[in-house]
Amino acid sequence: MKAYTRREENEIKLFWSGFERRDNIILTALVGLGFALAKYPSIIIEVFYRKKFGERYFTLASSVFIFLLLLLISLAPKIVAFIFMLLNMQPNFDNGFDVVLFLFACAFLFKSIKQRQEISKYGVTYKLDRFSLSQGEYHKFFNDRFGQKLYGIPVNSKTIQILFEPSVPIIVGIVFLLIPYFQVLGAILLFCGVIMVIRQFGRAMQGRNAVLDIIDQNIISQDKAGILMEEKPMEEVHGIRLPVALPTDENVRQLLFDETNTENLSKDTWTE
Is 216 inside any structural domain?
yes
Q: Total domain count for the chain? A: 1
In whole angstroms, give the CA distance from residue 132 to residue 214: 24
Stretch 49-78: mean pLDDT: 87
Is 215 inside any structural domain?
yes
pLDDT at 105: 94
Which domain, by its residues, includes 185? 1-23+149-263
pLDDT at 67: 95
Is 131 inside any structural domain?
no
Is 88 inside any structural domain?
no
Model pTM?
Answer: 0.72
Q: CA dist 145 to 93, 152, 204, Å?
A: 48, 12, 21
Is 139 inside any structural domain?
no
pLDDT at 265: 39
Is 36 inside any structural domain?
no
Identity of the highest mean pLDDT range in 27-31, 58-62, 72-76, 111-115: 111-115
Beta bridge partners of 51: 137
Is 35 inside any structural domain?
no
What is the total residue count of the chain?
272
Is 111 inside any structural domain?
no
Tell me what the pLDDT averaged over the chain comes to.
Answer: 78
pLDDT at 185: 93
